[in-house]
Amino acid sequence: LPVGISGIVLAAAVAAMMSTASGALIATATVARTDVKPLLARAFGRDSAETEDAERDVHSDRLYVVVLGIAVIVIAALLNDVVAALTVAYDILVGGLLVAILGGFLWKRATGTGALWSMAVGTVVTLGTMFAVGDVLANEPIYYGLAASLVAYVVASLLTTRTPAEVLRVWDDRLAGHDATVAEQVAT
């Protein structure tokens, strides 16, 4: 391509990459703050209820983005190979998260604590096996991570109190496409 057009194409590619990275970082920070933090607080017996303060919420959101952004930069600096980085990410996704995600849809006895332990154990075992095997591209870490994740999910779910029936009903309604809040808003 001519010099001017190749510069525009390169700028467009960099803009698309930065937009995607920004969106992924903001989404990760939001999930960490609104979903993971309260679940961890409940798992350790702390009250996760916070007062509504928009200014503090914005500051907290920004802090999560900065901390997670630094973690991503460190990981990117340690992994110089794009294929290896994607492999590690997908190994963590499958070995650490798959059981908790599918279990939440399929097993009514599952609990949030079970999902949390499943994700933590699956991720640690996947990364540990990856390190022990010494090959980032190996498949064995996924298998060990899935097995450990499943055991942790079942054991932790059975050792904790059941999810309240009303919470399960709301979840089932959402899965069926009958969100109660939307129905109430439409009715009024």
Return the higher-pLDDT residue of 88 and 147. 147
Other C-beta atoms lying within 10 Å of the C-beta of residue 13: 10
Q: How far apart are CA 39 and CA 32, in angstroms?
A: 10
Burial 31-70 (b: 16+ CB within 10 A, else e): ebbeeeebbbeebeeeeeeeeeeeeeeeeebeebbeebbe
Once rounded to an integer, what is the mean pLDDT over residues 3-15?
90
Residue 71: HSE in the Cβ half-sphere, 13 Å Cα cutoff: 9
Instruction: Give residue 184's pLDDT band: very low, low, confident or very high (50, 70, 90).
Output: low
Return the higher-pLDDT residue of 184 and 55. 55
pLDDT tens digits, 13-62: 999 988 988 888 888 888 888 878 887 787 777 765 555 666 677 788 88
pLDDT tens digits, 51-106: 566 667 778 888 899 999 898 888 888 878 888 888 888 888 898 889 998 998 88
* pTM for this predicted structure: 0.67
Q: How far apart are CA 121 and CA 150, in angstroms?
A: 9
Other C-beta atoms lying within 10 Å of the C-beta of residue 102: 13
Q: Are 101 and 152 in contact (CB under 8 A)?
A: no
Other C-beta atoms lying within 10 Å of the C-beta of residue 135: 13
